[in-house]
Amino acid sequence: MKKLSPSMLSADFGILNEQLKQIETAGAQYLHIDVMDGVFVPNISFGAPVYKTIRKSTDMVFDVHLMITDPIRYIDDFVKAGADIVNFHVEATDDPMSVIEKIKSYGVKTGITIKPKTPVSAIEPYLGLVDLVLVMTVEPGFGGQKLMPDCLKKVTELKELRDKNGYKYEIEADGGIGAGNVREVLEAGTDVIVAGSAVFGAEDIHKAAKDMLDIIREYD
Ligand code: DX5
Ligand code: ZN
């Protein structure tokens, strides 16, 4: 089943629970949680203690996207705060295998992430081990940027590799996706659509998520 993972980065934290209800009742399956450290990316967002506070109020799958240097240091905190999927950047560590093993040791899902300039070949050795591959379609760090269409070729490449080798990962695309271009992203082979500003920036958040899900379901 194809999925929507609205990015909390664009939410209004003053009324976060209310906004989360709107996307959950619209049918969003995942909640995309962007953790930024101001080092790996030139922006700081929030950490584990913040999303821990909403774990009890929603059943959505916590799809945590770590934009932090040396992620192995904090896997324990992120899992204990309620992550269901832990996505780390291959560019952020010298030892991706140890990060994968550490995440797996907690029994949660493992996601590996690539920036726009990183080729699929950089993660090829790990493709048989991960549950999800997150393809950035903007430079990570900020919501509201424009999608880089070239990155969609990597989605198609990952789909072909999965078919050829019997891998099981979901392919997620993140950055610059909205109702106007989501079809193009799905047609490339994406399974999980991240959308921040297109959902939380809309006047009617529930409707924006629902409209997006209606399109997503056409590709199931
Ligand atoms: C960017 C983040 C994205 C961001 C997406 O570094 O990884 O998840 O929130 O926001 P939009 O959908 O507005 O591009
Ligand atoms: Zn993200």
Render pLDDT for 124-164 as a digit per residue (tens, 0 to 9). 999 999 999 999 999 999 999 999 999 999 999 999 999 99
Render pLDDT for 87-102 as a digit per residue (tens, 0 to 9). 999 999 999 999 999 9
Q: To which residue do tokens 């995942």 refer? A: 30
Would you give the DSSP letter of residue 26? Answer: H
Cα distance between residue 27 and residue 30, in whole Å: 9
Minimal-distance CA residue to ligand 1 atom 6? 140
What pLDDT score does 196 carry? 98
Protein residues with CB under 6 Å of any ligand 1 atom: 7, 9-10, 32, 34, 65, 138, 140-145, 174-177, 194-198
Cα distance between residue 11 and residue 32, in whole Å: 11
Tens of each residue's pLDDT in the chain, 220 residues: 999 999 999 999 999 999 999 999 999 999 999 999 999 999 999 999 999 999 999 999 999 999 999 999 999 999 999 999 999 999 999 999 999 999 999 999 999 999 999 999 999 999 999 999 999 999 999 999 999 999 999 999 999 999 999 999 999 999 999 999 999 999 999 999 999 999 999 999 999 999 999 999 999 9
Which residue out of 70, 174, 191, 204 is catalytically annotated? 174
Mutate to test the pocket of ligand 1, among 40, 142, 199, 200 (most ligand atoms within 8 A of CB): 142
Do 138 and 175 form a contact (C-beta atoms < 8 A)? yes
Active site residue 174: yes
Residue 188, judged by CB atoms within 10 A of its CB (0-12, 13-18, 19+), counts as buried
